Structure 1
Amino acid sequence: MGKEILINKPEEWNRIVTGFHKYDVYYLSEYVKAFQIHGDGEPVLYYYEDDEIKAVNVFILRDIEADKRFKNQILQGTYFDITTPYGYGGFLIEGNVTRESMKRLEQEYTNYCINKGIISEFVRFHPLLSDYKTLGKFYHISKLGKTIVIPLASKEKIWNNLTSKNRNMVRKAVKSGVEIYWGRSKELIESFIPLYKATMDKDKAKPYYYFGKDFFNSILYDLKNQAVLFYAVYQTRIISMAVLLLTNGHMNYHLSASQKEYQHLAPTNLLLYEAACWGFDNGFKTFHLGGGLGSKEDSLYRFKSSFNRDSDYTFTIGTKIFNQEKYDQLIEIRKREMQNSDYLDTDFFPVYRGEYL
């Protein structure tokens, strides 16, 4: 009733995913491959089917021993945890969803995880697709914050959804001579990489977000049908760029970068507006911008929300412990390293991977 598919079988993987009416790029093998290259772990697709429902979950399998804090503390290849790949995911479920069918899915999936040595799972539910309410008895659910979606119903609606301030910024960019183009090529990726690094430096980003060249090449070559670069040009110079992911009627704001000294020209405002209009012209239904850093209603969130004042989607996470005894043992291993003034961040999940505070 349940089975796993590994990344070395991309055709079977994608055949299962695209068999669901509602899916997005985050579930495709080409997308998760980039994060395997980045060193996140082993991508796995779990597929369940019975007479009433079918369900799919995509996750990254991480060997806990590979974490430097557990080196020589536990056996390699024995205990694992799993997490949604960077972005969004969570179970997609279709069919006759009832309490009984969900109970069967939960039991089968739990047995699979326990038999595989999986200690815990962390899920970032797709705000548009994965129904966390259906999974409320399986995961511990937490609502973190709002996320912004632009409905691509018409160009008129796209424009009217902008705040008045944002409309003025778009007009300013056009009047200043900023022009928006799109494409995908090795040259564009090579332009994006240093601009992205400079942006991460400016934002004092965590080391994880400094993706390598092989990662970006994977976006170019593996996601050739699902990724496009939009970029803003001012006086022959690229001053803002964004990688957008596209599939099954959905557009997603993935990675972005810009020249700080040109921010006053509002190139990213114009870029996202033009991208939304392009999405409508090409038959896409939604453009997901995401939320603020850490799901906070910060300056990034306020910028994104200026593209749709009425967006009412919520970013939700789920956590699950499959082996409480081993989970607690891993926390104790971390505690043995602690200094007198240290304590683990218990708001982090799983706690045993948390930082000292």
Structure 2
Amino acid sequence: MLIENNPTGTTLQLTLQQRDDWVKYISLAADYDFYHTWHYHAMATNGRPILFVYCEANSFIAMPLLERAIQDTPYYDLHCVYGYSGPVSNLKFTDMSDSLKENFLSAFSAFLYKGSYVSVFSRLHPFFDQNILLQKTDGIYGNGKTVAINLQQSIEEQRKQYRQTTRDSIKKCRKFGYVAVEATAQEDIAAFTKLYQSNMNRISATDFYLFTEEYFTKLVQATEFDCRLILVYSNDDLVCGSIIMCTKGIIEGHLIATNANYLKNSPAKFLVDEISELGRKLKMKYYHLGGGLGFKEDSLFEWKLGFSNMVLDYYSWRFVANKAVYNQLVEKSGNQIHTDVDFFPLYRMIPQ
């Protein structure tokens, strides 16, 4: 743990070795999701996890990130885990004083300078008002929309929002006798892994998304957050399944997969409806379905809109800490600074 004092407060730089401290700060946050946890960061394979913490009086702001070396340079950059992370605090960002926000940004800027970090990329959480903290940095980027189901309304009110096609598919699955069950056995995790990987291969997903049985096992067996594997069966056939995370009132529909032989019956719609009922039993407030592929308003986004009219703005934080070096790296990569391509940092993009 690296501790630094400055005129206004204290900064901590936690690594995975400081598990207890990481867990403590995240658990004390007014809002957080499983994406912020030590356990989820310990599973990351694409960077060295760190938790930057700024403390002042009885308040703190923490930012989990992954550090990567920039090849053939003395520099580094920071990005985030797969999912919605961004900063958290023991205060709501809507209640935070301007001085605390400014002091955090000043301390974070000093941390970036000292660590030779060129840029920072973090997907922000659609529920947490993190923009309020970061809006003066010029790094806020509007990425699109995500869809959520409000579980605080009655199930009848919820289902009134379903599109007719969604309603029909769910009714058809019930008629066929589909059953949703919660699974924890290793054979169930193995079966879901096989189903998920076949889905990813079918859509030619990149290697990053080809999660292994070990990965899913670590998620399902985690103690730091409430992960559940929900599977849908037709007799003995595994029809579809989803890994969901339940954290502080929010269900995240983390990953979902469907048996290609049953796609025509849209069993994933039945699964979402069943999970929304489970969420109520677990006292969850929202079921976050997420956005489209690459957060575009595509067919996946339209599919999710078939369940709810609750649409959230989704942002990412794309901050250039060292503009001169950033520009040099982009030029060296063969890319153009002024491009319309949705990619950050640009120096890591393979030129088209």
State TM-score, norm by structure 2: 0.90
Is 1:40 aligned to 2:46, yes or no?
yes
Give the structure 2 partner of residue 135 of structure 1.
134
- Report deviation, 1:52: 7.0
**CA contact 1:46–1:57 (8 Å) conserved in 2:** yes
Cα displacement (A) at 1:322: 1.1
Partner AA of 2:56 in structure 1: D
Mean Cα displacement is larger for which, 298-307 or 177-186? 177-186
Structure 2 counterpart of 1:165: 165
- 1:356 and 2:351 aligned: yes
Specify the SS of the correspondent of 1:129: coil
Task: Quote the offset at 1:22 in angstroms.
Answer: 1.1
Report the 3-state secondary structure (helix = DSSP H, G, I; strand = E; otherwise coil) of the residue aligned with 1:270: helix
Secondary structure at 1:43 match in 2: strand
Alpha-carbon displacement from aligned partner over 1:213-247 (angstroms, at most 9, x marks no partner) = 43223213335742111111012111101100111
Separation in structure 2 between the aligned mates of residue 168 and residue 106 of structure 1, nearest angstrom: 50
Partner of 2:55: 49
Shift, 1:130, TM fit: 4.2
**Pair 1:4 & 2:3 matched:** no
| Alignment counterpart, residue 82 of structure 1, candidates 74, 78, 81 | 78
Aligned length: 337
Which residues of structure 2 form unaligned runs of 5+?
Answer: 1-9
Q: Does the residue aligned with 1:137 lie in a helix, a strand or coil?
A: helix
Matched ranges for 1:6-155 at <5 A: 6-35=15-44, 39-51=45-57, 53-65=59-71, 73-74=72-73, 78-93=74-89, 94=91, 97-153=96-152, 154-155=154-155
Alpha-carbon separation, structure 2, partners of 1:196 and 1:322: 38
Dislocated runs of 4+, deviation >6 Å: none
Deviations 1:168-220 (A, max 9, x none): 21111101121111122212211111111110011111221112343223213
Q: Is the 8 A contact 2:119 2:318 kept in 1?
A: yes
RMSD: 2.0
C-alpha separation in 1, matches of 2:187 and 2:36: 27
**Counterpart AA for 2:211:** F
Shift of the 347–248 alpha-carbon distance from structure 1 to 2, 3 Å rule, reads: closer
Match of 1:69 in 2: none
Instruction: State how far apart, in whole Å, the 2-side matches of 1:8 and 1:130 are.
Output: 30
Q: 1:344 Cα shift?
A: 8.1
- In structure 2, the partner of 1:211 is 211
Residue equivalent to 1:68: none
Compute the displacement of 1:345 (Å).
Answer: 7.6
Q: How far off is 1:110 after superposition?
A: 0.6
CA distance in structure 2 between the partners assigned to 1:51 and 1:272 by the alignment: 44
CA distance in 2, matches of 1:344, 1:296: 18
- The 3 A distance-change label for structure 1 pair 79 and 48 is same
Tell me the SS of whatever aligns to 2:43: helix
Name the aligned partner's letter for residue 19 of structure 1.
L
Residues in 1 aligned to 2:322 and 2:18: alpha-carbon distance in whole angstroms: 29
Secondary structure in structure 2 of the residue aligned to 1:284: coil
Aligned equivalents of 2:129, 2:12: Cα separation in 1? 20
User: 1:281 is aligned with what amino acid?
Assistant: K
Describe the superposition over 1:17-61 as per-residue Cα deviations: whole angstroms up to 9, x where unpaired: 0101211111111112222xxx21111111112137421111111
The structure-2 alpha-carbon separation of the partners of 1:224 and 1:11, relative to structure 1 and needing over 3 Å to count, comes to closer
What's the TM-score once normalised by structure 1's chain length?
0.89
Identity over the aligned pairs, expressed in percent?
25
Q: Which amino acid aligns with 1:165?
A: T
- Does the residue aligned with 1:352 lie in a helix, a strand or coil? helix
